[in-house]
Amino acid sequence: MEINRRDFFKLVGLGSAVLVFGSDIYSEAAEKDFYFVQLSDTHWGFNDAKFNPDSTGTLKKAIAAVNKFEIQPDFVVITGDITHTNDDPKERRKWLGEARDIINGLKVKNIKFLPGEHDAALDNGEAYQEYFGKTYYTFDHKGVHFIVIDNVSDPTSSIGDAQLQWISDELGKLKKDSRIVVFTHRPLFDLYPDWDWWTRDGAKAIDLLKPYKNVTVFYGHIHQENHHNTGHIAHHSAKSLIFQLPAPGSLSRRVRLPWNPTKPYEGLGFRRVEAKIKKAEYLIKEFQIKKG
């Protein structure tokens, strides 16, 4: 599905915030421009009304909202923590299956998954792979090379040497000006290590990406938007679809923020990202979950 600039702004016209990230402002739509949707941290199985009295309905509301888009995204990516932690391997699989079935309710059938630590860290991704396939992989879409990095199946929140070598090999096939988008769950940079908001060997991945001129990272994990640059590489975290977490370092401890009945679904949402291929720009539009 290709869309032009006019169509896109018509599509996002009801929204509240549009952010443009990239080298400069574009003046015309490129032929291969497209958009995708990022959902994150859905934590299927989480059940505590203090933080979300609609824990079984929030993900479904997001899917319904995406399905209502007049022009459907080229694909939807879910950047990890699809399910909440379950110590029982049998129950873990039940939740993974339920989440997969709900997500398959999306009209768009091109869905890209990656794990979060809640999905994969207790069994090194074994159960996750039974339901969603590989934990790291690449794919190409309309001129953009996407790299999915797994920084959660190792319970020490590491990428690991084997995967780093694989990333290096994959990057070696690309030109230095290739359009590269990375999907991962945890921040690759040291966002706030005091709260475990980092990847232990994330700096090694960033070092591998540095020689490439057009790299953008989309991730989850921290249940809120955050926009940060390491040199020329932009990193954008997404909102959650289950509960909010505080801004990095804003409280003495990382604790879930309670549900605010006067502002239901506050801070919970998803985003759509329009990829402008020529200029390697990513136009981000945030959507909040609404009651009803």
Q: Which is nearer to another protein, 73 or 125 (CB)?
A: 125
CA pair distance 289, 195, nearest whole angstrom: 26
CB of 174: closest distance to another protein in angstroms? 32
The nearer residue to another protein, 89 or 211, going by C-beta atoms, is: 89
- Write down the least CB distance from residue 192 to another protein, Å: 9
From residue 157, alpha-carbon distances to 3, 43, 121, 141, 191 in Å are 38, 18, 8, 28, 14
Closest CB 167 distance from another protein, rounded Å: 22
* Residue 266 Cβ vs another protein, minimum distance, rounded to whole Å: 21
Determine how β-strand 226-230 pairs with β-strand 233-237: antiparallel
Per CB under 8 A, residues contacting another protein are: 84-87, 117, 121-122, 152, 155-157, 193-194, 196, 200, 252-254
Rounded to whole angstroms, how far apart are CA atoms 112 and 107? 14
216 versus 237: smaller Cβ distance to another protein: 237
With beta carbons less than 8 A apart as the criterion, state whether 76 and 39 touch: yes
In the complex, least distance from residue 109 CB atom to another protein, rounded to whole angstroms: 31
Nearer to another protein among residue 126 and residue 177 (C-beta): 126
Nearer to another protein, 50 or 253 (CB): 253
**How near is the Cβ of 85 to another protein at its closest, in Å?**
4
β-bridge mates for residue 39, sequence order: 78
Q: For the chain, count helices (H), then strands (E).
A: 7, 12
As measured in angstroms, the least distance from the Cβ of 227 to another protein is: 23
CA-to-CA distance for 50 and 252, rounded, in angstroms?
20
Q: Which is nearer to another protein, 68 or 253 (CB)?
A: 253
Closest CA relative to residue 38, chosen from 140, 146, 154: 146
Give me the residues paired with residue 83 across strands.
44
- Long-range CB contacts for residues 233-238, cutoff 8 Å, separation at least 24: 233/206, 233/209, 234/21, 234/282, 235/187, 235/188, 235/189, 236/21, 236/282, 236/284, 237/187, 238/38, 238/39, 238/40, 238/41, 238/79, 238/270, 238/271
Q: Which residue number, 197 or 287, has a Cβ lying nearer to another protein? A: 197
Contact 41, 220 (CB under 8 A): yes
